[in-house]
Amino acid sequence: MSAMAIAWLVLIFGFALPLAHVAFSAQGGGWRPPPGAGCPFGPRTGWFVIVLFLGPLGWLLYLRARSRTRSTPSS
């Protein structure tokens, strides 16, 4: 496999697909901040920036945070 193909695969699987997952995920939060928030960005925008800068590591952080908020303790 050529170096150019490997570079494209890294870009697609390491950055483009994780960014698409954060952008289109139903549980990613809103693009706009909640009312009364001090930050001008919403949660999805924050995750988008984190995944953009950290790539696969940011995506793994996003998946971990999503699984933590989705799970509910059984009582």
pLDDT tens string 2-51: 999 999 998 898 889 999 999 998 887 888 888 888 888 888 999 999 99
User: Looking at residue 34, what is its pLDDT?
Assistant: 86
Q: How far apart are CA 62 and CA 51, in angstroms?
A: 8
Check: pTM over 0.85? Answer yes or no: no
User: Looking at residue 67, what is its pLDDT?
Assistant: 80
Q: How far apart are CA 36 and CA 39, in angstroms?
A: 9
